[in-house]
Structure 1
């Protein structure tokens, strides 16, 4: 169990990087960030796939279809929604909305379990998580109101996109854990590589969409945006490579290792490491300490997850 928790922590620390990439590349549209990340992931998976080709050949057609579904929803659509949410609402609020995942996944896993936990035991977690979101949301709204260039409509749209990202990432770890638990002989490394390989065609399709949007003058790219690498090619290339390697392939590998060692109801709640790392990175990037209300919200978030963890044991 402790080995699984360490792997989940490592995955969370690496996944937290994806929350600051949209802030560091604020002049890049969300689709550009998503395509870049998963194009890098897919290209990194190619040589790894050659090394593991004998193990990959053991996967059946249905396994590859599942890898495609996981890559499309849990990677591509998730990060498209998340990066757009962060650019619209800033880093902290989408991060804390994503922080509801531990409890959301616990609820879904409880509904699917034959040995369900009584709902009265989950209620305190839900209340604490809701209080945490309310605190961080109020803190960010106060900052938005005080800002001369704040846009409340844009902020609310960002929050809705973060909720869509939660839906994608509620589905992903449950389905991913189901497959791994149903295939205990499977290598977590090979399964991470398989998902990377299936992400590549989706990313290439995204590249085609970007060029099509530019040719048709669709408002998906800023005016005068230069493809394929945009206005800061070195920054974009380096950050997408780092996120593709650490947050996508290595993060997925660590998460698969955790998923094979821990029950779904427990491993799902350890996604809180991702949210806490992302909050820390966002405030480091801002160069400031979190406001008191945000710290209180983080405290509520942690308390809710700790409560849920105690009840999941």
Structure 2
């Protein structure tokens, strides 16, 4: 095992890394239900509202880690700002817009391609640091995850075609928005892991709080922009908190604390313990949690084809986490 991989194991082991990733997925799955709970709220308002709550909650939480936060350099804060914009605000804007157009499960399974996409990118990008996962051993896991996503998508498409009230155009547009969300969240965990692995002495909790603080001014500016845009419309939307202010505020605080802060904390802890290619596959826990919560919200279980797809997702993850990276062997200089 390479030195970096050895440090990863020493940081708490693969088992604890998987447990942290499972916790992150269970918390992140909550954000897929909120757009279904608040269909009359624009996706922009939901995105900036969620991260405004996240940033405000991080103000008192920052007191716990004030020593570590003071030690962050300007470059660290700039990195946190970039992560906050792409991985938080832009990602959730695209995701919420997609869910409102597709109804939930299609967006969920497109986001479910992240384990495949991140594993493929990380296995090329981070091989020197983490070791290379053998493609021959990864192939069954990736194929099983891909099959599971395809089966769930097939089930949802058949339901769409059978419902004349659904709009295929909006559904397809929602799918494209979900692809954009995938791009954002392929970039985010890899860049986030780069910083965490380069700073193993730093606390995962402090880095989660730092990202919340970096999100706050961006979300506040975004909220002001959203209100200005809504004010220019016909005035039907009640400003500043919409037609159901109690539910809106409660939902934003809940996802800000549980999904944004605690979920990011769990993911940071997993990223410190796992190679990026392995951690990337474990984002499928978010997909599974989101599907579970969405079906509960709908008040119905998955169709048999979708249930088979979910089983394939689980099998793929089980296989994937058993694959261990192999260190790259440097070739001797010919001289």
Q: TM-score range by the shorter chain?
A: over 0.9
| Residue 214 of structure 1: aligned partner | 230
Contiguous gaps of at least 5 residues in structure 1: none
Equivalent position SS for 2:36: helix
Contiguous gaps of at least 5 residues in structure 2: 1-12, 326-335
| Residue 183 of structure 2: aligned partner | 167
| Residue 101 of structure 1: aligned partner | 114
Give how far 1:95 is off. 1.0
1:75 paired with 2:91, answer no
Query: CA-to-partner distance for each residue in 1:229-270, whole Å, 9 max, x for gaps?
Result: 100000001111110000001111111111112222222211
RMSD value, Cα: 1.6
Which one of the candidate residues 298, 315, 318 is aligned to 1:286?
A: 298
Matches within 5 A, 1:93-242: 93-112=106-125, 113-114=127-128, 115-217=131-233, 224-242=236-254
- Distance in 1, matches of 2:111 and 2:324, equals 20
| Residue 257 of structure 1: aligned partner | 269
Contact 1:103 1:308 in 2 (8 A): no
Query: CA-to-partner distance for each residue in 1:84-123, whole Å, 9 max, x for gaps?
Result: 1111111111111111111211111111113433434444
Give how far 1:281 is off. 0.4
Contact 2:116 2:146 in 1 (8 A): no
Contact 1:22 1:83 in 2 (8 A): yes
Larger Rg: 2
1:21 paired with 2:34, answer yes
Query: CA-to-partner distance for each residue in 1:165-217, whole Å, 9 max, x for gaps?
Result: 11111111111111011001111111011000000011011112112212443
Contact 1:265 1:312 in 2 (8 A): no
Contact 1:67 1:198 in 2 (8 A): yes
Question: Is 302-311 or 33-42 further displaced after alignment?
Answer: 302-311
- Distance in 1, matches of 2:228 and 2:258, equals 30
Equivalent position SS for 2:72: coil
| Residue 53 of structure 2: aligned partner | 40
Contact 2:29 2:290 in 1 (8 A): yes
Which one of the candidate residues 268, 277, 281 is aligned to 1:269?
A: 281
- Distance in 1, matches of 2:114 and 2:235, equals 36
Equivalent position SS for 1:147: coil
Query: CA-to-partner distance for each residue in 1:34-64, whole Å, 9 max, x for gaps?
Result: 0111000000011122342222110001100
Return the TM-score normalized by structure 2.
0.88
| 1:285–1:168 Cα change, 3 Å | same
Contact 2:106 2:153 in 1 (8 A): yes
Give how far 1:126 is off. 3.9
Give how far 1:285 is off. 0.6
